[in-house]
């Protein structure tokens, strides 16, 4: 009668125990009991089974113990330098820890293992775009899309990068391909509208916006594009409608009030214009504050309130140093005060500037001939 050697029996028993332990750990992982799974995995010391460090790494990462997770995945890579699971997880963990070069190295190794996998290029692109390596990110997203032309996320991410870098021809091409892939995806229509607005194609912005509205509910991002396009086309009533929609949607940025203020002024509603421009100024002090002051000054001037017009033209000049404001100050002093000395001084300062607006310079010269 043949008997199994004792060593073989022992090894078979050990194998069965390990297999049962790994099954128990996997069952616990499946029910999100990562601590209990780790208790079992920590008792397994087999240095040849790569599933053990992989599962440890997975548990540690889910528990937020990222350094231990990295250590576990590195152990897996020592066993098999081409293990994709370990390399992908390491890349993501290094990225989380802002160890960008190590993360890049993992993606480079993954691509060298399989250069036809679009996911590796996409994740690599996402990594480098997060640290402002936009040129590399664009190339990686293009490669990802060449491998997977239906990747909606890559189209969106690439589109935003191209928009930020003002590469409009390539952006238009990418958006065209994206729309062909899924013409109902709102992010593509928004990108199309943003590109058109940046290129001052205001009629196209409105056409794109109308396509969007046929398929989707109005969104603040879209309404903003439409409002600015209508404003640029002097359709001030529609611009006001869009900006008021944004206010009702709790988008109360200074630029909303600015567009409302100018639109109301162009339509002759000076009190409402003054109200909106004042809110634009109150909403926040930015590099645009000089423009807000000058627009408020214009509204007061249209309302024949020259005292306030002078006040805000002075505030605008203090902020922006725009030379044309000297001309506006001169005119308002000329109208408001019987004493023309301030008006004369501002006319002279304007003519001594390098501003080249012909009508303003001719008017200033005529007024000086009369006043002096």
Q: What's the CATH fold of domain 1-114?
A: 1.25.40
In order of 29, 53, 86, 142, 342, the CA distances from 74 in angstroms are 20, 8, 7, 30, 77
pLDDT tens-digit readout, 340-371:
999 999 999 999 999 889 999 999 999 999 98
Instruction: Say how many C-beta atoms besides its own lie within 10 A of residue 122's C-beta.
Output: 23
- Higher-pLDDT residue of 72 and 37 is 72
pLDDT band at 187 (very low <50, low <70, confident <90, very high): confident
Q: Is the pLDDT of residue 12 over 90?
A: no
Average pLDDT over residues 181-186: 74
**pLDDT recorded at residue 42:** 82
pLDDT > 90 fraction of the chain, expressed in percent and rounded: 68
Residues 6+ apart with CB under 8 A from 361: 350, 351, 355
pLDDT > 70 fraction of the chain, expressed in percent and rounded: 92
**pLDDT recorded at residue 96:** 92
Q: Domain spans of the chain? A: 1-114, 123-147+156-182
Residue with the two structure tokens 């390399």: 87
**pLDDT recorded at residue 111:** 97
Give helix 254-266 / helix 236-248 axis angle, nearest 10°. Answer: 150
| Mean pLDDT (the chain, rounded) | 89
Average pLDDT over residues 309-335: 92
**C-alpha of 199 from chain center:** 18
pLDDT band at 132 (very low <50, low <70, confident <90, very high): confident
**pLDDT recorded at residue 19:** 58
- Higher-pLDDT residue of 68 and 211 is 68
SS (HEC) of the chain: CCCCCHHHHHHHHHHHHHHHHHHHHHHHHHCCCHHHHHHHHCCCCCCCCCHHHHHHHHHHHHCCCHHHHHHHHHHHHHHCCCCHHHHHHHHHHHHHCCCHHHHHHHHHHHHHHCCCCHHHHHHHHHHHHCCCCHHHHHHHHHHHHHHCCCCHHHHHHHHHHHHHCCCHHHHHHHHHHHHHHCCCCHHHHHHHHHHHHHCCCHHHHHHHHHHHHHHCCCCHHHHHHHHHHHHHCCCHHHHHHHHHHHHHCCCCCHHHHHHHHHHHHHCCCHHHHHHHHHHHHHHCCCCCHHHHHHHHHHHHHHCCCHHHHHHHHHHHHHHHCCCHHHHHHHHHHHHHCCCCHHHHHHHHHHHCCCCCCHHHHHHHHHHHHHHC
Reading the block at residue 272, the tokens are: 């409402």
Q: Is the pLDDT of residue 291 over 50?
A: yes
Closest listed residue to residue 91, CA positions, set 123, 130, 64, 133 = 123
Q: Is the pLDDT of residue 158 over 70?
A: yes
CA quadruple 175, 179, 185, 188: dihedral, nearest 10? 10
- Higher-pLDDT residue of 223 and 39 is 223
**Residue 109 and residue 30: Cα distance in Å, rounded?**
30
Average pLDDT over residues 55-64: 91
pLDDT tens-digit readout, 14-58:
444 455 667 777 777 888 888 888 888 888 776 678 988 998 899
**pLDDT recorded at residue 14:** 41
What do you get for the CA distance between the two ends of the chain, in Å?
132
**pLDDT recorded at residue 1:** 44
CA quadruple 36, 39, 45, 51: dihedral, nearest 10? 20
Burial of 259 per CB tally in 10 Å (0-12, 13-18, 19+): buried
Residue with the two structure tokens 């019987």: 338
Reading the block at residue 248, the tokens are: 């009702």
**pLDDT recorded at residue 232:** 96
């Amino acid at each position: 009668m043949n008997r199994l050697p004792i060593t073989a029996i022992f090894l078979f028993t050990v194998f069965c125990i390990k297999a049962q332990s790994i099954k128990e750990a996997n069952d616990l992982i499946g029910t999100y009991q990562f601590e209990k799974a780790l208790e079992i995995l920590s008792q397994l010391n087999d240095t040849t089974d790569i599933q053990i460090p992989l599962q440890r790494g997975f548990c540690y990462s889910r528990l937020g113990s990222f350094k231990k997770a990295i250590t576990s995945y590195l152990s897996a890579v020592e066993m098999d330098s081409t293990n994709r699971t370990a390399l992908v997880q390491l890349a993501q963990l290094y990225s989380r820890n802002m160890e960008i070069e190590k993360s890049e190295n993992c993606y480079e190794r993954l691509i060298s293992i399989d250069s036809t996998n679009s996911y590796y290029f996409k994740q690599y692109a996402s990594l480098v775009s997060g640290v402002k390596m936009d040129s590399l990110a664009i190339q990686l997203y293009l490669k990802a899309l060449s491998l997977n032309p239906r990747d909606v996320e890559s189209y969106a991410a690439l589109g935003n990068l191209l928009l930020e870098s003002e590469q409009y021809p390539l952006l238009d091409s990418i958006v065209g391909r994206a729309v062909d892939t899924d013409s109902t995806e709102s992010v593509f229509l928004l990108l199309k509208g943003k590109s058109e607005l940046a290129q001052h194609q205001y009629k196209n912005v409105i056409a794109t916006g109308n396509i969007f509205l046929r398929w989707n509910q109005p969104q603040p991002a879209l309404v903003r594009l439409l409002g600015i396009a209508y404003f640029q086309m002097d359709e001030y009533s529609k611009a006001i409608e869009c900006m008021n929609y944004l206010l009702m949607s709790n988008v109360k940025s200074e630029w909303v009030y600015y567009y409302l203020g100018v639109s109301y002024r162009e339509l002759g509603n000076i009190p409402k214009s003054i109200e909106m421009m004042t809110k634009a100024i109150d909403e926040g002090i930015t590099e645009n504050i000089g423009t807000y002051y000058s627009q408020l000054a214009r509204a007061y001037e249209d309302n024949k309130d020259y005292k306030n017009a002078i006040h805000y033209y002075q505030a605008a000049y203090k902020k922006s140093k725009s030379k044309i404001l000297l001309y506006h100050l001169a005119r308002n002093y000329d109208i408001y005060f019987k004493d023309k000395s301030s008006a004369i001084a501002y006319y002279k300062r304007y003519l001594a500037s390098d501003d080249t607006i012909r009508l303003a310079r001719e008017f200033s010269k005529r007024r000086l001939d009369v006043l002096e």
